[in-house]
Structure 1
Amino acid sequence: MNRPVTSETYAAQVRRLAELSARVHAQRAEARTWYERQCAAADRAVAEAEEQVRQAERDLAAARELQERVDAEAAHLWQRLRDRLGAGGRRLRGPPQPAADVDADPVVLLGRVKELLDRAGQPGELPGSANPLLALCGVAGAVLAYALGAGARAAGVGYGGDLAVGMPVLAFMVTLLGPLVGLVPAKVLADRRHAVLGPRPIIVVLAAGLVTTALLLALGR
């Protein structure tokens, strides 16, 4: 027959069972806490990954927009260069391909190219080497005006009457405008050289025209 269990042994078994139950409960709570932490970390990782994907999509869209803008600006500047070169620019094909070893901002580089084209497109003053041609323009204007004045005087003498009095005055006024007439071919010369007719070229033309007009008037007396 089984021997009865003493109260002390029974109490010890109950305590042991209670300890095991408490230990199991603690382990379950620890496992539940670990699981929740892992789930929270996984959720954060997924959220961060989704945000990185969204940021990458925004960066990609911005990069594509920048590429399109840079390509359009480069094509525009290239066309400006071809127009500036004239007939020689027609032999140029499309814009060159981007250099792979350049890390600079393309917008900054295109801005520098635009500034360079703007400076190159601004007309400058005629160089000093054009002074002989400018002086020739002044001489030609004075000679032309003097010839017109001489023709007017001759017409006044030929018709007689009031024209014989008025035409010499008109001829003298036309002759005095001779230096200014030289500015017309000088302006054509400046336009062909893509330059402006500044103060120095104007002075050269007027000085040559005045000297020529004075000599013609002196010789015509």
Structure 2
Amino acid sequence: MNANPDPGTGYAALVRQLAELSGEADARRAEADAWYERQCASAERAVQDAELAVRRAEAELAAAREEVERTDAEVTVLWSTLRGLLGGNARRLGDAPVPTRGPSENTEALLDGARELLERARRPGELPSSTQPLLVLFGVLGAGAAYALGLAARAAGARYGGDLAVGLPVLGLLVSLLGPVVGLAPAKVLAERRYAGLDVRAVLLVVVAGLATTGALFALFR
């Protein structure tokens, strides 16, 4: 008959096997714990990165809103300045332009360009020489119209008599004498339409033409 196995030997083998399994389980558990800690750390870093990105986006949004408000205010000021420079022609402009969708551009460069143009507009140039005949015509027509009104006033005074016979001729004479400067009104309108100013030369053309016309009319119809 075969000898019986040693019970101690079987027990020792089971203990060794249990220890090996326990060590393997501990290793797997440690590996799982390490993996979990790595995942938690990675998730925490992802959350921190997301929070940082959100804060950056909020800061950029606030800066963009501030820039938009500043740009809108600058556009309003520039538009008001332009309307003031155009005078009566400003009605055609309407309200200030609003932002439109399109490719991004350098807003500050555009505003600088608009400021430069307005600065030039504040310094109106002279009327071109091609408008000189028109300025002379304004002087002639203005003086002629003033003389005609004065003549009509004198005629009305002679017709109605009484106090009007004394007052209307004096008024008519004053109106006729103002004839040389009447042409400056349409000349100023012409200058505004050409975005220019009435310089000394333009004023002299109108006034001299008016004086010559008034003198000629007084000489012919005295």
TM class by shorter-chain length? 0.5 to 0.7
Count of aligned pairs between the two proteins: 149
- Does residue 85 of structure 2 align to residue 84 of structure 1? yes
Q: What does the per-residue CA deviation read over 1:169-191, in whole Å, with 9 as the maximum and x for residues that have no partner?
A: xxxxxxxxxxxxxxxx9xx99x9
Q: What residue in structure 1 maps to residue 25 of structure 2?
A: 24
Q: Deviations over 1:8-63 (max 9, x none)?
A: 22221121111111101101111111111111111111111111111111111111
1:99 counterpart SS class: coil
Q: Which runs of 5+ in 1 are unaligned?
A: 135-184, 206-221
TM-score between both structures, scaled by the size of structure 2: 0.56
**Matched residues in 2 for 1:125 and 1:13: separation?**
114
Alpha-carbon separation, structure 2, partners of 1:33 and 1:81: 70
Give 5+ residue unaligned stretches, structure 2: 137-180, 206-222
Residue equivalent to 2:75: 74
Q: Residue 49 of structure 1 aligns to which amino acid in structure 2?
A: A
**1:98 corresponds to which letter in structure 2?**
P
Matched residues in 1 for 2:31 and 2:114: separation? 67
Aligned to 2:114: 113
What RMSD, in angstroms, separates the aligned Cα atoms of the two structures? 3.3
Task: Give 1:14's aligned amino acid.
Answer: V
TM-score (norm 1): 0.56
User: Residue 83 of structure 1 contacts residue 89 of structure 1 at CA under 8 Å; is this kept in 2?
Assistant: yes
The 8 Å contact of residues 85 and 121 in structure 2, kept in 1 or not, is answered as no
Q: Is the 8 A contact 2:124 2:197 kept in 1?
A: yes
1: CA distance, partners of 2:132 / 2:82: 30
What is the CA–CA distance in structure 2 between the aligned matches of 1:116 and 1:125, rounded to whole Å? 17
Post-superposition Cα deviations, 1:141-167, rounded to whole Å, max 9, x if no partner, equal xxxxxxxxxxxxxxxxxxxxxxxxxxx
Asked if the contact 1:77/1:114 (under 8 Å) is kept, the reply is: yes
The answer to whether the Cα contact below 8 Å between 1:123 and 1:196 also exists between their aligned partners in 2 is no
Closer, same or farther: CA 66–89 of 1 in aligned 2, 3 Å: same
| Cα distance in 2, alignment partners of residues 23 and 196 from structure 1 | 102
Which amino acid letter does the alignment assign opposite residue 12 of structure 1?
A: A
Distance 1:4 1:91, change over 3 A: same
Q: In structure 2, how many angstroms separate the alpha carbons of the residues matched to 1:112 and 1:196?
A: 26
